[in-house]
A and B are shown apart, each in its own frame.
Chain A
Amino acid sequence: MQKSKKIVLVGHFGVGKTSLIRRFVKNEFSNNYQVTIGVHITKKEVQIEADKSINLIIWDLEGTDDLRTMRPSYLMGSHGAIFVFDVSRPSTFQNLNEDLALVNDRLNKVPLLVVGNKIDLVNKEDLDSLLQEHQISNHFLTSAKEGTAVDSLFTKMAKMVYGHD
């Protein structure tokens, strides 16, 4: 039977969680912002190697600026998590380390990727100094709008959860 793994996308609202999933699953993007409430679940098969693939069950969670208010029932049984922030809005990564600690705690330290999205909105030098200033590492830098690094993000996640229980 095909292996399937649940991953959750968490982060503040409006950072592009829904857009990243939409780009990855349907290769579409819209500038219109439709606030997610509750949870949307999508399934997508990811090819890891020539003969290895996995079903990602992607849970797109309602964003919040206070991660402590995340509903625990959504996180149950997750195999991996992607934390998304918006590189153009400091409020979404201001407390990054605390937010990540909280996610790790709630999710029992499953594989976690940190993603700065909307890189199409800032220039490279500003982005570098911003990441350095906030000591953000272990990151992916993506643009759901332009499709930058979106596939490699989810493929990386798939690989991480593949051998992991």
Chain B
Amino acid sequence: MAMIEKYKTEHLAKNFQFVLVDKQGNVAESDNTLFNIDVDSQIQDWHPFFENFSDLLSSFKDKLHIDCVHLDSGNTQYITDIDFEKKLDGMLIKVHNLTSYYDNFQTMAQSRNESAIASELIIIKNKEFEERERFKNQFIQNFSHELRNPMMSMMSITNLLAKTDLTPSQKQLLEYVQEGNEHLKLLLEDILSISMISTGRLKLENKTFNLHKLFDLLRFTYANKAKANGLKFDAKIDARLPETAEGDRLRLYQVLTNLLDNALKYTDAGSITFTATLNQKWGNKMNVRFEISDTGKGISTENQKMIFESFSQLNHTNEKDGVGLGLAIVNGLVKLMGSEIKLTSEIDKGSMFYFDLNLKTPITQIKKAPLQKTIKSFAQKSKAAMEKQKILLVEDDERIQTILLKTLIDSGNYHVDIINDGGKVLEQVLDTDYDLIIMDVHLPNTTGNQLARLIRDFPIKKIKNVPIIGITADAFEDNIKGYLKDGMNTILSKPFSDSQLTAAINKYIK
């Protein structure tokens, strides 16, 4: 015990300084353990902490404790706790050196405060950035809307002009104009999509759709596109994937086609592979991996981050045509669907884009039963309505559209869908089962006979065998023979009468 007491006294002696001052602040005694304070000097002259000493004296009754005071004199600095104790002849000041304790405390406070400030500043920066982005996107959105109207009228006027009598060289020139228009329109649509995604204006739909039909459409479209580019195309679809899914079909389609188009664009030789795999299924939910890989020229590591940024590509002159907003749209849409687009790539070996998407798989049996019931009861009331045949009318000339529609609807037997863009026919055919297609041979984006050929090649029986009536102003026997060979069942030459049309329809619809 005696030893401990001794050590303790030694320790305390080292870390405490006692100073005795009179009521005027004159130093009477000081043990000078920590600082040299001269006897008979004024304590307030030694350190400003003691300034206004008389005020200090009157401000408390017996004792006062003050934490964590930095005291310094000459080269000596300590962080101390200071106690004041009133005595008969003045005041006892006890200075406790706690420097190492407070140093630890300081280190902790330093990191805590620094990270608090840093995170606040990051939030502020992000907000500013987002605001600027929002403004930019809003501006672009308004601007592209403004551009759309004149663009549209320019396009339709050009199309009208194309139908007039033109010399071959005029026709050629007009084709360039049409190509330019088409390119501009796609670009405008891309920019609109991007700005709508960025401003949060784009809302996803949640509807049931046929997943396999979507895959069929992709397989079909891209097998042909790849072939035209001298490439192989492969679609590997997981057989465990259910027939139907719930989600935004249009946007999923947009993402996949953008990725596939991108793969086509940057692959000169080899193959493109589309893979859809069921990662997981639980209850009516599933997680599906979509993967698009190519044997193209690859993307350098530094470019990998940048290619998803909106407008980043606008800064770079692209050696390939197209502005390349496609990937930025993919990035935005996939994010909107709650996933993230990922990429692995190696220069000269190829790239693989992939993302994992949560979709719902409606339990069809439960859903179908009550649906059929309602249809039946409805059918009893209006039998005729239920037995209507479905016709797809593909025609871009509005006058002919109206004439055809009138004939078809007057008969009261048909349900008619109209498309004026040849590029959308395959998608539509995959989505809806038609009993008959009536199709103009001259269409924007593609020709009717080309479409007929594609439809006849289709791997699905119901689609493959649908009757197609072609319409053309062409009177050359050879051309008409060609159309029939391409898969059209019959050709109506303009102008034709109502009865000719009805006869043709009746021939193919029972």
Interface residues of A (CB under 8 A from B): 4, 6, 13-14, 33-35, 37-43, 55, 57, 62-63, 65, 71, 73-74, 76-77, 88-91
Residues on A with beta carbons closer than 8 Å to the beta carbon of B64: 73
| With A6-B52, A33-B117, A57-B48 already in contact, 9 other A-B pairs whose C-beta atoms are closer than 8 Å | A4-B52, A13-B113, A13-B116, A38-B67, A41-B47, A62-B109, A73-B65, A73-B66, A89-B121
Asked if B51 and A43 make an inter-chain contact with CB atoms under 8 angstroms apart, the answer reads yes
Asked if A76 and B59 make an inter-chain contact with CB atoms under 8 angstroms apart, the answer reads yes
Given the complex of chains A and B, what is the CA–CA distance between A76 and B59 in angstroms? 8
Set B65, B69, B113: member contacting A38, Cβ < 8 A: B69
Say if the beta carbon of B106 comes within 8 Å of chain A: yes
A162 → chain B closest CB, angstroms:
15
Closest B residue to A77 by beta carbon equals: B55
How many contacting A-B pairs (Cβ < 8 A)? 73
Residues on A with beta carbons closer than 8 Å to the beta carbon of B120: 89, 91
Across the A-B interface, the 7 shortest Cβ-Cβ residue pairs: A38-B68, A43-B48, A35-B110, A57-B51, A73-B66, A41-B49, A13-B113
Per-residue CB contact flags for chain B residues 376-404 toward chain A (1 = under 8 Å, else 0) read 00000000000000000000000000000
Closest B residue to A37 by beta carbon equals: B106
Given the complex of chains A and B, what is the CA–CA distance between A88 and B47 in angstroms? 35
- Chain B residues bordering chain A, tally (CB within 8 A): 29
Asked if B56 and A39 make an inter-chain contact with CB atoms under 8 angstroms apart, the answer reads no
From DSSP, what is the main secondary structure of chain B's interface residues?
helix
Per-residue CB contact flags for chain B residues 7-50 toward chain A (1 = under 8 Å, else 0) read 00000000000000000000000000000000000000001110
Say if the beta carbon of B147 comes within 8 Å of chain A: no
List 22 contacting pairs A-B, 8 Å CB cutoff, sorted by A.
Answer: A6-B51, A13-B113, A35-B106, A35-B113, A37-B109, A38-B67, A38-B69, A39-B68, A41-B49, A43-B48, A57-B48, A57-B52, A63-B113, A71-B67, A73-B66, A73-B67, A76-B59, A88-B124, A89-B117, A89-B120, A89-B121, A90-B124
Residues on A with beta carbons closer than 8 Å to the beta carbon of B59: 76-77
Given the complex of chains A and B, what is the CA–CA distance between A4 and B56 in angstroms? 13
Say if the beta carbon of B114 comes within 8 Å of chain A: yes
Residues on B with beta carbons closer than 8 Å to the beta carbon of A65: 116
Asked if B56 and A74 make an inter-chain contact with CB atoms under 8 angstroms apart, the answer reads no
Asked if A37 and B68 make an inter-chain contact with CB atoms under 8 angstroms apart, the answer reads yes
Residues on B with beta carbons closer than 8 Å to the beta carbon of A42: 48
Residues on A with beta carbons closer than 8 Å to the beta carbon of B110: 33-35
Given the complex of chains A and B, what is the CA–CA distance between A81 and B2 in angstroms? 51
Residues on B with beta carbons closer than 8 Å to the beta carbon of A43: 48, 51
Say if the beta carbon of B245 comes within 8 Å of chain A: no
Say if the beta carbon of B79 comes within 8 Å of chain A: yes
Say if the beta carbon of B70 comes within 8 Å of chain A: yes
Say if the beta carbon of B105 comes within 8 Å of chain A: yes
The answer to whether A4 and B51 touch (CB under 8 A), given A37-B105, A89-B124, is: yes
